[in-house]
A and B are shown apart, each in its own frame.
Chain A
Amino acid sequence: MKKRMWIMAALLLLVLPTMLLLTSCAKKGVTTETQVDQAALDAERARQEELARQKALEEERLQQEQLANQGMNAARTRFLNENIYFEFDKSRLLPAAQETLRDKADWLRANPDLTVIIEGHTDERGTTEYNLALGERRAESAKAFLVDLGISASRLTTISYGEERPIDPRSNEEAWAKNRRAQFVLE
């Protein structure tokens, strides 16, 4: 019995410190790793924050760009879709037409690299040949006005289609008024 106790005690004496040693060693590794992790974690967190910040900045930039584009697209769409209209057998610019042309001049100034074709059209009444000339006069009228507002003439080309390309094919006053127009097309 006593021998056995001494053996057990000896064992314990051997095992315990070993265990302690082991655990203490292990503990030491964990501490280092934690220390290392902590630094890494901090770095990571900082990085993530930076990323997030940059992402937020980018999003904001994209949003603003999108808004700007929409604005630009809207302006461009307006430039292309807004026609100027004329009285029967006339090529002079009415006040509303002049207003529209001023807007177009603004847009052209903001987009100095673009060249534009001004199409002149008439309604179907009257003869084909005379209407070719009338359409030409309408396109030239618009061009001259824009040139007076400072747009370079080299950016503006005129084409007359006479009565050949109506926007509204019906034969009534409403359709005719829509067809007596000058229309802008990007080259």
Chain B
Amino acid sequence: MSFFRFQVFTSILLACLLALAGLARADYDYIEINNPFLRKIPMAVPTFSPVAGHPAERQVAVQAADQLAGALEFTGYFKLLDRGAFLVKPEAMGIIAPNIKFQDWTAIGAELLVTGGVSLKDQYMEMELRLFDTFKSQLLIGKRYKGLVSDQRRMIHRFCSEVIFALTGNHGIFDSQIAFVSSGPGNKEIFTADFDGESPQQVTQNKAITLSPAWSSDGKWLAYTSYRQGKPDLYIRNLAQRRGSVVDRPGLNATPAWVPDKFELAATLSFSGDPEIYLLTGTGKIIKRLTESKGIDISPVWSPDGKSMAFVSNRSGTPQIHMQDIGSGREERLTFDGRYNTTPSWSPKGDRIAYCAAEDGGFNIRVIDLATRKTLQLTRSTGDNESPSWSPDGSLIVFSSNREGPNRIYVMTGYGTDQRRLLTLPGEQTNPKWSGRIVN
């Protein structure tokens, strides 16, 4: 064999090997851990198939498919392919593997496919949902859900949780809620909404300034500060049972933060003459004082294991994010850039803390990596972006921004991509707080 031929042969061999390697990666690494949002997985969600075919069923079939596509798109992991590009008409397609021509889907670049079958009877519905890997022609998840038509959204979200769990090992955000402050009622009150901004509800009717909502891990309790009694007091409230406690010591009773998986919370109390952070029981009794520094100590947040606390302190001269080990009491300063860093939020993954930094053009959300202590700027040149709060799986951040004029709630990925407004209500919305997974 001539040398030239040998070179060609080797190149072709190498190319084949690389191609095989490439294929192998596409098979197993669905979501890239380091930056899952860098490459969105193309996914197709055609309208679901109505079993009997009557109009009500058809309508639900379209609606449910839209809801599912919307919910999965919300995570930021997927690029939902335009139904206009599909090669198969919904009426003609099958929903189970033997009846699906996967080449129709790989041809348009879809790597994942979700099919659904919907059956409607009076106020009851049954849904079969399946997730396929189109390149492997393989069923990944198949689930059947039965219930009232009014539970449709819950069924869709349950399947979405299964999808995300299969792809990331985490159940994702579909069982979570967002609490926030809105001035629509005439004064600031606390509202909650679903993770995607749907179904906003007013939770407090104090008719007085109400601020800083904080969720307990199980989503059953909400703590907040209200001027209902004429001064800033801390309210600890069980949402379902409408019972709770009040911490109304002289001075400030503010910025509550529940300890993960415990009936305890940290809060800033200033009855000693100086705002300091204390650990309280869920009924508002002081367990111990956590900070001992003249000056401002406020806005505590907990690490996911409950062993460390990050907070804002101006003990170094300007407001900065500090971190304290609860066991040893050892405290250290985390932020050194800029003269004003506040509103920390600890990622449920434990590795990063988001916060808000005052810059010349306004406030921006930044994230600090706890291992490297490097900071990353997530918003830029868009007015005031404040109060970041992580989703329960540490993938998304909700925050407030006045980039469009009035303060509104926005959501973005943990890397700053896909920034979009979550909801719009009368008045202004601020101080969002993402709950954990709420499983009833």
Residues of A at the B interface (CB closer than 8 Å) are 89, 125-130, 132-134, 136-137, 140, 157-161, 164
Interface residues on chain B, size class: 35 or more
Partner of B250, one of A89, A130, A157: A157
A130 CA / B312 CA spacing, docked (Å): 8
Q: Is B379 an interface residue (CB 8 A)?
A: no
Residues of B contacting A140 in the complex (Cβ-Cβ under 8 angstroms): 270, 273-274
A89 CA / B225 CA spacing, docked (Å): 22
When the two chains form their complex, are residues B231 and A159 in contact, meaning their CB atoms are under 8 A apart?
yes
A sample of 11 inter-chain contacts (CB < 8 A) reads A125-B358, A127-B342, A127-B356, A129-B343, A130-B298, A130-B312, A132-B254, A132-B298, A133-B268, A137-B275, A159-B231
Shortest C-beta distance, B191 to chain A (Å), equals 16
Shortest C-beta distance, A182 to chain B (Å), equals 14
Q: Is B232 an interface residue (CB 8 A)?
A: yes
When the two chains form their complex, are residues A137 and B296 in contact, meaning their CB atoms are under 8 A apart?
yes
Q: A136-B270, A140-B273 are in contact. Are A129 and B254 (CB under 8 A)?
A: yes
Q: Is B212 an interface residue (CB 8 A)?
A: yes
When the two chains form their complex, are residues B342 and A129 in contact, meaning their CB atoms are under 8 A apart?
yes
Q: Count the A-B residue pairs with Cβ separation under 8 angstroms: how many?
A: 78
Residues of B contacting A128 in the complex (Cβ-Cβ under 8 angstroms): 211-212, 387, 430-431
Residues of A contacting B250 in the complex (Cβ-Cβ under 8 angstroms): 157-158
Residues of A contacting B188 in the complex (Cβ-Cβ under 8 angstroms): 164
Q: Is B255 an interface residue (CB 8 A)?
A: yes
Q: Is B251 an interface residue (CB 8 A)?
A: yes
Task: Tell me the nearest residue of chain B to A140, going by C-beta.
Answer: B273
Q: Is B209 an interface residue (CB 8 A)?
A: yes
Central interface residue in B212, B295, B296, by most chain A CB within 10 Å: B296
Residues of B contacting A133 in the complex (Cβ-Cβ under 8 angstroms): 252, 254, 268, 270, 275, 296-298
Residues of B contacting A132 in the complex (Cβ-Cβ under 8 angstroms): 211, 225, 232, 252, 254-255, 298
Shortest C-beta distance, B436 to chain A (Å), equals 21
Partner of A160, one of B232, B312, B342, B431: B232
Central interface residue in A133, A158, A160, by most chain B CB within 10 Å: A133
What would 18 more interface pairs be, CB under 8 Å, given A133-B275, A137-B295? A126-B319, A127-B299, A127-B343, A127-B386, A129-B212, A129-B254, A129-B255, A130-B343, A132-B225, A132-B232, A133-B296, A133-B298, A134-B296, A136-B275, A137-B296, A140-B270, A160-B251, A164-B209
Q: Is B86 an interface residue (CB 8 A)?
A: no
A134 CA / B270 CA spacing, docked (Å): 11
Task: Tell me the nearest residue of chain B to A125, going by C-beta.
Answer: B358
A90 CA / B320 CA spacing, docked (Å): 15
A125 CA / B250 CA spacing, docked (Å): 26
Q: Is B340 an interface residue (CB 8 A)?
A: yes
Residues of A contacting B268 in the complex (Cβ-Cβ under 8 angstroms): 133
Residues of B contacting A157 in the complex (Cβ-Cβ under 8 angstroms): 250
A66 CA / B363 CA spacing, docked (Å): 55
Task: Tell me the nearest residue of chain A to B188, going by C-beta.
Answer: A164
Shortest C-beta distance, B273 to chain A (Å), equals 6
Which chain B residues (88-107) contact chain A, with CB distance < 8 Å? none
Q: Is B318 an interface residue (CB 8 A)?
A: yes
